[in-house]
Amino acid sequence: MAQPERPLREVPWSRSVPAAVPPHRVRPLTSATLEQHGARLTVPTYDRGALVPAVVHMSVGGFSRAHQLIYLDEIAQQGISAGWGVVGVGLRARRLREALAPQDNLYTVVERSPDGERARVVGVLTDYLFAPDAPSAVLDRLADPRTRVVTMTITDAGYLLDPVTRTFTPDDDVRYDLAHPAAPRTVFGFLVEALDRRRRAGLAPFTVVSCDNLHRNGDATRAAVVGFAALRDEVLARWITDRVAFPSSMVDRITPQTTPEEREAVARRYGVDDRWPVVTEPFSQWVIEDDFCNGRPPLDAVGVRFVRDVTGHELMKTRLLNASHSALGYLGTLAGHERIDVLMGDPVFAAYVTRLMDAEVTPLVPCPEGIDLDEYKAILVQRFANPAIADRLSRLCRRGSTKLPQHLLPSLRQALAEGRPHALLTLALAGWVAYLQRTDDAGVPLPVEDDAGPRLQALALAGGTDPRPLLAETAVFGDLGEVPGFADELAAVLTRLRRDGVRETVATLTASAR
């Protein structure tokens, strides 16, 4: 059997947590203070001025700063190449620009594990542009011949694709962009206008790499970009179809939202006054299809895996990690928990997610070459239980109407079609339905962060323990509600959750599944 891929990157900058820094010795993070900070954490040793701005990342956030930019920073830090600097683009929130600009676009990343933590300053971000304030500057950067790759993290809901046909569905912002191509509002307005400028100038296009958690994200990006382009110019749409590469990728690193307490901890432990540091786990994985149209960065030298087809890796990650996250998020919140590491300390929920992955999901997941699925799942359980990250369940409960159809419902639908066990998958779905009904076991109201939340909540509340009104929402469930007997199965679990409570129901159904 092929040796299992090692999903945990080896990094050369591990060190123990230092003693606290007195407040008067905390220094701001800037190019001028890097040498001072080098005594307590790893800082860039390469010439930042020599970086070529060849990558533009659309919609910079905590995840991209803890994931994609780390790999590109390592290319520069290890002296492999200075040709892959990054320009960040913000699309919605101005706060990040206000944090990064006084820091010369430097920022701190702290990895935390149960054994300690390690920190570094990332220097590969050469510039940061806030698109609403400077659309012309963003277009100039994208049209610059030095730009060879565009990466993006716009969330799964940002692609504006019909959930059934996967065709591009323009909204009001898209219609604005079509009327004002030189001052777009959407990521696709920027990409299409920049590609048109490159086409007219006789320049090679850039490769577009989606780093969002949706099925075949490269195909989704192509559908959105080409769909947008076709609304303004069929010739341009054909040029993009023929010339632009859209490789699919799989990304993985748990990165909770940075809190003010985390910022204070970075200052106290490392003496760095960073306006917006990033805290993340040690695990990091990036698998990309080897399909680039204008050169590619040597990411394989720093742990990225290039493959012919990313589908197997994507299904492994989304159906095991993301689906488990959703299941634990909803059921754990209903049971009154707030953090996933605490939830995993409850043997009932730890047994549930282990059995869910082993008995019901793994038989449906194709094993990618070189991967040991048992080892992968064991690492997942360790990651969920990492108390140093303390990932909040509220983060896992966001945008259920887009996450579940991609991550959990495909396994449930396949298990039903093949007559396989699916009681624990059904329980996970029941957890979401009960969550939409807005209170936990103690009667505490639950926040629903989902664009489709009000409509779905109304349907869930109208049905009570009868899920048929909700299952009729085909944009989310497809034909799941028409599967003979399934609505009754789901109704029985909802009734049990109300009657017996979440923890007892989870324990009973997990034991039965054995």
pLDDT tens track for 327-343: 999 999 999 999 999 99
In a domain, 1, yes or no: no
Which helix (H) or strand (E) segment holds residue 128: the answer is strand 125-130
* Mean pLDDT computed over 403-414: 96
Do 321 and 305 belong together in one domain? no
Q: What percent of the chain has pLDDT over 90?
A: 89
Final residue in a domain of this structure, among 275, 292, 309 = 309
**Side chain identity at residue 442, one-letter code:** A
Do 293 and 393 belong together in one domain? no
> What distance in Å separates the CA atoms of residue 366 and residue 360, rounded to the nearest whole number?
13
- Cβ count within 10 A of residue 216: 18
CA 145 vs. chain centroid, Å, equals 29
What count of residues does the chain have?
A: 514
Q: Is 387 exposed, middle or buried (0-12, 13-18, 19+ CB in 10 A)?
A: middle
Please give the angle made by the CA atoms of 474, 164 and 175, to the nearest 5 degrees: 105
Do 420 and 365 belong together in one domain? yes
In a domain, 7, yes or no: no
pLDDT at 15: 47
Buried b (16+ CB within 10 A) or exposed e, 219-243: bbbbbbbbbbbbbbeeebbebbeee
- Cβ count within 10 A of residue 369: 10
CATH number at residue 484: 1.10.1040.10
pLDDT at 23: 80
**Side chain identity at residue 32, one-letter code:** A
pLDDT at 3: 34
| 374 Cβ contact partners less than 8 Å away, ≥ 6 residues apart | none
Q: Which structural domain range is residue 261 located in? A: 25-309
> What distance in Å separates the CA atoms of residue 67 and residue 69, rounded to the nearest whole number?
6
Q: Are the C-beta atoms of residues 206 and 148 closer than 8 Å to each other? A: yes
DSSP-assigned beta bridge partners for residue 462 = none
Q: What is the dihedral of CA 248, 254, 257, 260, to 10 degrees?
A: -140
Least confident of 39-48, 241-250, 310-319, 435-444: 435-444
> What distance in Å separates the CA atoms of residue 492 and residue 466, rounded to the nearest whole number?
9
In a domain, 8, yes or no: no
Do 125 and 251 belong together in one domain? yes
The 3-class secondary structure across 307-318, one letter per residue, is ECCCHHHHHHHH
Final residue in a domain of this structure, among 288, 309, 330 = 309
In a domain, 18, yes or no: no
Final residue in a domain of this structure, among 291, 309, 327 = 309
395 pLDDT tier (thresholds 50, 70, 90): very high
Do 226 and 363 belong together in one domain? no
Do 294 and 349 belong together in one domain? no
Do 216 and 365 belong together in one domain? no
Do 484 and 345 belong together in one domain? yes
Do 318 and 298 belong together in one domain? no
pLDDT at 400: 96
> What distance in Å separates the CA atoms of residue 230 and residue 49, rounded to the nearest whole number?
39
Q: Are the C-beta atoms of residues 96 and 65 closer than 8 Å to each other? A: no
Helix 323-334 and helix 400-407: axis angle, to 10°? 130
In a domain, 249, yes or no: yes
pLDDT at 180: 97
pLDDT at 514: 67
> What distance in Å separates the CA atoms of residue 384 and residue 377, rounded to the nearest whole number?
11
In a domain, 14, yes or no: no
* Mean pLDDT computed over 34-61: 96
1 pLDDT tier (thresholds 50, 70, 90): very low
pLDDT tens track for 453-495: 999 999 999 999 999 999 999 999 999 999 999 999 999 999 9
Which helix (H) or strand (E) segment holds residue 454: the answer is helix 453-463
> What distance in Å separates the CA atoms of residue 440 and residue 338, rounded to the nearest whole number?
12
| Number of domains composing the chain | 2
- Cβ count within 10 A of residue 73: 25
> What distance in Å separates the CA atoms of residue 153 and residue 485, rounded to the nearest whole number?
39
β-strands 278-280, 85-90 pairing: unpaired
| Residue 210 tokens, joined | 């989606």
Q: Which residue has the tokens 């080896």?
A: 10
Give the residue among 375, 386, 308, 311 at the shortest CA–CA distance from 342: 386
| Residue 263 tokens, joined | 């910022």
List of E strands, 401-462: none
- Cβ count within 10 A of residue 435: 23
CATH number at residue 201: 3.40.50.720
> What distance in Å separates the CA atoms of residue 234 and residue 232, rounded to the nearest whole number?
7
Do 197 and 286 belong together in one domain? yes
In a domain, 140, yes or no: yes
- For the chain, the average pLDDT equals 94
> What distance in Å separates the CA atoms of residue 206 and residue 292, rounded to the nearest whole number?
8
> What distance in Å separates the CA atoms of residue 396 and residue 254, rounded to the nearest whole number?
11
Do 325 and 285 belong together in one domain? no
9 pLDDT tier (thresholds 50, 70, 90): very low
* Mean pLDDT computed over 55-69: 97
Which helix (H) or strand (E) segment holds residue 140: the answer is helix 135-143
Cα–Cα distances in angstroms (integers) from residue 282 to residues 14, 77, 260, 383, 394, in the given order: 10, 18, 21, 9, 22
In a domain, 19, yes or no: no
Model pTM score: 0.93
pLDDT at 440: 74
Ordered DSSP codes for 207-249: EEEE-SSSTTHHHHHHHHHHHHHHHH-HHHHHHHHHH-----E
Do 31 and 89 belong together in one domain? yes
pLDDT at 16: 54
